[in-house]
Amino acid sequence: MDLLKSISVATSGLRSQSGRMRVIAENIANADSGPERAGADPYRRKITTFQRRFDRELEAQVVDVGRVQRDQSAFRTKFEPGNPTADAAGNVQMPNVNSLIETMDMREAQRSYEANLNLITSTRRMIQRTIDILRA
């Protein structure tokens, strides 16, 4: 029964990392998008948080995606005097998304996802071997 619990706990990790990757992909997609109109703020980077909870059915701690928060760091500025959303000095506010940081976060999320997937695969193999031994 503990093997089935480990699969369920790893599955919660898969769901959480999948949600994290979805938010990171949204950040990357909007990294170069400017504001919609003059005076408006551009896209603000989103940060995924996690929360643990006790699953009574499993009798184990699992992880869920928590609130997706907005990064309050300053926006980047880009000199584009011909842009209709530029200020009087010709600067346009750009999203506070750093593609390098997002790429590294994505890589970390992928590795965590793979670790959970490997745990499920190993557990399934152990269950199958146990069944094979019991049949013999």
Tell me: the pLDDT tens digits for 3-33?
889 999 999 999 999 999 999 999 999 999 9
Q: How far apart are CA 110 and CA 104, in angstroms?
A: 10
Higher pLDDT, 39 or 93: 93
Query: Which is nearest to 92 in space by CA: 8, 14, 33, 6?
Result: 33
Q: How far apart are CA 107 and CA 113, in angstroms?
A: 10
Query: Which is nearest to 110 in space by CA: 9, 5, 22?
Result: 22
Query: Which is nearest to 4 in space by CA: 130, 123, 135?
Result: 123
Q: How far apart are CA 4 and CA 6, in angstroms?
A: 5
Tell me: the pLDDT tens digits for 44-83?
999 999 999 999 988 889 999 999 999 999 999 999 998 9
Structure tokens at 108: 């970390």
Average pLDDT (131-136) is 91
Average pLDDT (110-124) is 96
Q: What is the pLDDT of residue 22?
A: 97
Distances in Å between the alpha carbon of 53 and those of 7, 26, 59?
Answer: 16, 26, 10
Q: How far apart are CA 41 and CA 36, in angstroms?
A: 8
Q: pTM of the entire structure?
A: 0.87
Is 102's pLDDT higher than 70?
A: yes
Is 1's pLDDT higher than 80?
A: no
Q: Report the range of poorest mean pLDDT among 12-16, 17-21, 36-40, 117-121.
A: 36-40
CA dihedral 87, 91, 96, 102 (to 10 degrees): 140
Task: Enumerate residues 6+ apart whose C-beta is below 8 A from 125.
Answer: none
Q: What is the pLDDT of residue 30?
A: 96
